[in-house]
């Protein structure tokens, strides 16, 4: 049975473990990819252009906005981030599931424009643990860490807008839960391929159903 891929929106504050979770999901489930966003944020040690992000300057980012190249874009912590539209739609058409790691504003825009998308919010086990993770990550100075921690608290309050919530206390459990969501979403009746339904003569039974 052929299906289109699923668009999976994953949000959660910085330091909650989204990248680690995504890496495991991509390694464990075939045909799941992570969308690589464009950003004007400076590249961090250990990051590679085209892997974590496409790192571009403001001028190029604005040019891409004008060309309508983004499915959504937002300013996060003073930098611009955008999800490239075409690559993503091509992958979904090919039956590949695509994970978008976006902030709450980006998630809201995608939920509005792509109603079939499935949204997942990743929660930290506690605020204390989140603060400690942000501090030990060591990629940002104390002021940036404090700013991110304040923003994280405000962001967490938006978890109710998402279809699913995963608490990332134990990584193995979080992976299992995310995998289960993907598996279950694939067998939702609404995703049944119309061509397959018609080929197997199920359309008649559908139309006979009393509504």
12 touches 162 (CB < 8 A): no
- CB neighbour class for 107 (10 Å; exposed up to 12, middle 13-18, buried from 19): buried
HSE on the CB side for 159, CA within 13 Å? 14
Q: Compare residues 57 and 193 and give the one whose CB is closer to ligand 5GP.
A: 57
Q: Compare residues 84 and 197 and give the one whose CB is closer to ligand 5GP.
A: 84
Closest by CA to 141, choosing from 11, 48, 16, 44, is 44
CB of 205 to ligand 5GP, least distance (A): 42
Residues 75-134 binding ligand 5GP (CB under 6 A) are 76, 81-83, 101-103, 105-106
Q: Compare residues 37 and 119 and give the one whose CB is closer to ligand 5GP.
A: 37
CB of 27 to ligand 5GP, least distance (A): 20
Two structure tokens written together for 14: 């910085």
CB of 65 to ligand 5GP, least distance (A): 12
Residues contacting ligand 5GP: total by CB under 6 A: 14
Q: Which helix (H) or strand (E) holds 121?
A: strand 118-123
Two structure tokens written together for 158: 């938006």
> By beta-carbon distance, which residue lies closest to ligand 5GP?
106
Residues 23-62 binding ligand 5GP (CB under 6 A) are 37, 41
CB of 60 to ligand 5GP, least distance (A): 15
DSSP output for 150-163: HHHHHHHGGGGGSS
Binding site for ligand 5GP (CB under 6 A): 14, 37, 41, 72, 74, 76, 81-83, 101-103, 105-106
């Amino acid at each position: 049975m052929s299906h289109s891929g699923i668009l999976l929106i994953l949000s959660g504050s910085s330091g909650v473990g989204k990248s680690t979770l995504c890496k495991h999901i991509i390694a464990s489930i075939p045909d799941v990819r992570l969308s690589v966003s464009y950003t004007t944020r400076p590249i961090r040690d250990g990051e590679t252009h085209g892997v974590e992000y496409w790192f571009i300057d403001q001028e190029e980012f604005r040019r891409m906005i004008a060309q309508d190249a983004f499915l959504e874009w937002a300013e996060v912590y003073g930098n611009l981030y955008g999800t490239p539209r075409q690559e993503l739609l091509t992958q979904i058409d090919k039956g590949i599931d695509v994970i978008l790691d976006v902030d709450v504003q980006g998630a809201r825009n995608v939920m509005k424009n792509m109603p079939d998308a499935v949204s997942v919010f990743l929660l930290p086990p506690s605020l204390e643990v989140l603060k400690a993770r942000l501090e030990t990550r060591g990629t940002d100075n104390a002021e940036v860490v404090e700013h991110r921690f304040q923003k994280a608290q405000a962001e967490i309050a938006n978890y109710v807008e998402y279809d699913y919530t995963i608490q990332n206390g134990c990584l193995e459990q979080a992976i299992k839960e995310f995998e289960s969501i993907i598996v279950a979403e694939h067998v939702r009746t609404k995703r049944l391929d119309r061509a397959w339904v018609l080929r197997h003569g199920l359309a008649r039974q559908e139309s006979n159903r009393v509504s």
